[in-house]
Chain A
Amino acid sequence: EAQVTQNPRYLITVTGKKLTVTCSQNMNHEYMSWYRQDPGLGLRQIYYSMNVEVTDKGDVPEGYKVSRKEKRNFPLILESPSPNQTSLYFCASSRTGGGRDTEAFFGQGTRLTVV
């Protein structure tokens, strides 16, 4: 089954304690990205990756890091989480090429609370 898998689904952590949210896709997609969703603000893109070792900032990259060492994995790293990073996070992947086939597949979401 084609899917994007995020872990963990729920996480409560303390300010400053480094954490990683994993994302894996089994569709051999080249594009992967991370979004955060906050009430009243909709979905905002954090980082994206067009291929292995190629990443770039989205709209709200501050406080986050990503890496793309393998095509299937795109972890999101919070080096020093702060309460304003409390949010619902989604990972997405899609095929390369642009134009048609631009369907993006989203993970189940990770609800992060930073206290």
Chain B
Amino acid sequence: LAKTTQPISMDSYEGQEVNITCSHNNIATNDYITWYQQFPSQGPRFIIQGYKTKVTNEVASLFIPADRKSSTLSLPRVSLSDTAVYYCLVGDRPGGGADGLTFGKGTHLIIQP
């Protein structure tokens, strides 16, 4: 089971680009990297997923180097509503399970005016 390490917290300002990096040194060949966002007292929400190189969708980009031992979630031009906890997950089993996705403690991102 690949363990992930990400910063406990980060601060930024409205309009800035925010990059959150996650380390996953023992990622397995079949593992995908998935990021979730969670607001207080709400369930986590899927943001983006990737396997290698770069993935971009309407809310974020995910950069994954060739060795796949880390990944960076990039949020362009953040707003106050992006204040949330962001989780980096590594695994190949969608529902989780003993050998699937495990949520760490996440990164608490605080956006200031």
Contacts and interface: CB of A to CB of B under 8 A. Distances in A.
A31 B105 CA distance: 23
Contacts of A57: 98
A97 B94 CA distance: 7
A115 interface: no
Interface stretch (B12-20, B37-45, B65-73, B76-84): B37-45
Counting chain B residues whose Cβ lies within 8 A of the other chain, the interface size class is 20 to 34
A35 B96 CA distance: 10
Given A88-B41, A98-B92, A106-B45, A42 B97 contact: no
B95 A43 contact: no
Size category of the binding interface on chain A: 35 or more
Given A45-B96, A94-B94, A99 B30 contact: yes
A96 interface: yes
A87 interface: no
B27 interface: no
Contact of B95 (A42, A49, A107): A49
B97 A103 contact: no
Interface in A25-65: 30-33, 35, 40-45, 48-50, 56-59
A108 interface: yes
Given A42-B106, A102-B49, A103-B49, A33 B97 contact: yes
Contacts of B23: none
B21 interface: no
A109 B42 contact: yes
B61 interface: no
Contacts of B105: 40-42
A44 B97 CA distance: 11
A59 to B, nearest CB: 8
A89 B107 CA distance: 20
Interface in B22-47: 30, 32, 34, 36, 41-46
16 contacts: A30-B95, A31-B95, A43-B103, A45-B103, A48-B97, A93-B95, A94-B95, A95-B94, A96-B94, A100-B32, A103-B49, A103-B94, A104-B46, A107-B43, A109-B41, A109-B43
